[in-house]
Amino acid sequence: MYRGRFAPSPTGRLHFGSLVAAVASYLDARAHNGQWLVRIEDLDPPREQPGAAKDILNTLEAFALYWDEPVEYQSQRHKRYEERLDQLIAQQRVYACHCTRKQIRESGGVYQNICRNRQHSLKDSVALRFLQQQPITEFCDQLQGKVCFPQAQMAEDFIIKRKDGLFAYQLAVVSDDIDQEITSVVRGADLLDSTPRQIALYKCFQEKPPEYLHIPLAINPDGNKLSKQNYAPAIEAAQARSQLVAALAFLGQATADIPPKASCEEILTIATYQWSRERVPRTRELPCPETT
Ligand code: GLU
């Protein structure tokens, strides 16, 4: 059974780029007669905006992007992350790191795994890193094809729990995708280089990774990623129908058969029927349409 998901971080309202990810993951799930879940990735309270999670869910509903099963919140799942962390510790795949960001920047930006053999205690408030044994340097993406990364980049022991005690994205996302039995991850191409790290964690947990499909990232005319940080305009429910059609066009899907007055439900039904992975542009970035 296909199980997909949309996993927004509640750092602000949905913008066109996040709508595209929601629509693509929704349509791919529905076109496979699958389930589609929503998970709020509220892992990092300092970066969250009050009310954003509720606003995101309301917006999805206004766009008729209805999910199956109750919404999961990462803030409620720390116990599971702790258990996963313990599993990795038992496999001797975790070590404490005292290096500062400044030190890492000065040594070239990629962490050189220098605390590996220093045996710092895991108990203090320190960052915990995942010890890479056989780094994954390539994987097969359902849209982008074979994607390769430099060995030096993927050999970096990444952080799984931060010095401030917060769990890091890679561990939380893998833990949740396993527990929620996600079979297909459809998300923006900005997360391509997280994928080999996540696959490495799947291996440690002896779980089969999902299939991955990375859609093009919506960028501004100035070439930057649309993000809450650079004030990408929020999508408005009042323009739901035109925004949905714009998202479909961005994803290379046919829109000619959509009647001008179609409701969001109708648009999504037609789009599910017509959904074609082959039509999605095989590129990592794409300018977003001017109307947004
Ligand atoms: N929460 C992540 C984000 O908003 C997405 C995680 C994922 O799809 O794996 O960028």
Q: In sequence order, which residues have a C-beta less than 8 Å from that of residue 154 and are 6 or more positions away?
A: 132, 135, 136, 137, 196, 197
pLDDT at residue 130 above 80? yes
| CA atoms of 37 and 45, how far apart (whole Å) | 22
pLDDT at residue 17 above 80? yes
Which residue has its alpha carbon closest to ligand 1 atom 7? Answer: 7
Q: What percentage of the chain carries pLDDT values higher than 90?
A: 83
SS3 80: helix
Q: Tell me the CA–centroid distance for residue 8 and ligand 1, in Å.
A: 5
pLDDT at 228: 63
pLDDT at residue 185 above 90? yes
Q: Tell me the CA–centroid distance for residue 74 and ligand 1, in Å.
A: 12
Least confident span in 128-132, 201-205, 257-261, 272-276 = 257-261
SS3 197: helix
pLDDT at 119: 86
pLDDT at residue 286 above 60? yes
Ligand 1 atom closest to 198 (CA):
9
* Residue ranges around ligand 1 (CB below 6 Å): 7-9, 41, 173, 187, 191
pLDDT at 292: 47
Whole-model pTM: value is 0.95
Q: Tell me the CA–centroid distance for residue 6 and ligand 1, in Å.
A: 8
